[in-house]
Amino acid sequence: MPHTWGTMAMFDYDFMRNAFAAASVVAVVAGAVGYFLVLRGQTFAGHALSHVGFTGATGAVLIGVAPLWGLVVMTVAAAIGMGFMGAQLTRRDVAIGLVLAFALGLGLLFLNFYTASAAQATAILFGNVLAVDIGTIWVLLVLGAVSLIALAAISRPLLFATLQPDLAEAKGVSLRLYSVLFLVVAALAIAECTQIVGVLLVFALMIGPAATAQHLVRGIAAGMLLAVALALIQAWGGITLAYYTDWPSSFWITALSMATYILSTFVPFRVVANVHS
């Protein structure tokens, strides 16, 4: 049954406070890292990493380890492999698609061996932010801090390699090195996002706000800040709507992400860009 309206009543529950705290950490990381994923044209690679993470999560459950650690290990390993593909990554969509399909199949096989709880599989696939505990929040906070610090450390050469790859390479910037480093950062961010929206819907929180921001705002700093702000609004809005409707928060987050992007397409780009420049 839907809950009584009232913001304070919503925050009377520990699980709601935990949900907002976890979503806040994840949304900030998703907005910042997702912005570079879209800018670099690696959205499909990000999508693939989330599916590979499913195998890691289910494998971890099978051996009695927290799913988050399986996600981290598998996504980071896959990110390193994709990063070494370098520029060829954009020309290997078929290979990546086959790998992620196999990863999903392998994850389902692991779940077949682990039959104790179907709810565990649902949480991995679609997320369950309302079940996040204090311990997980601290883990997300540490992973988020590592992700953002690493992104800040590589942002200048990464941006150079993204916007002017030939010139960057001529200046001695290793495109492959920064591809690997960035995808590892993206892997950590994706592992965090799955705690909120699950592996199947991580695309919405990672890519939706970033794509909307790049459509509306010209400028790297302004675009990244807008992507973070949109991710926060969508995450908070999704949790709030889930509380009052009893519909899944993951559904609401993805719905808000989609609606925001669609609305942004009706806004004249140059008008908005000029306002924020």
Q: Residue 224: its pLDDT value, please? A: 93
Q: Residue 194: its pLDDT value, please? A: 81
170 or 119, which is more confident: 170
Q: Is the pLDDT of residue 227 over 90?
A: yes
Most confident of 37-51, 70-84, 90-104, 236-250: 236-250
* Residue ranges of domains in the chain, CATH in brackets: 23-276 (1.10.3470.10)
- What is the greatest pairwise CA distance in the chain? 62
pLDDT class of 99 with cuts at 50, 70, 90: low
Tokens 């990863």 correspond to 103
Q: Distance between CA atoms of 73 and 57, rounded to whole angstroms? A: 9
Q: Residue 7: its pLDDT value, please? A: 57
Q: Residue 10: its pLDDT value, please? A: 81
Q: Residue 213: its pLDDT value, please? A: 92
- pTM over cut 0.85: no
Which whole number is the average pLDDT over 186-194?
Answer: 87
> CA 206 → CA 26, 188, 245, distances in Å?
10, 12, 24
Backbone angles phi, psi at 97, to 5 degrees: -60, -40
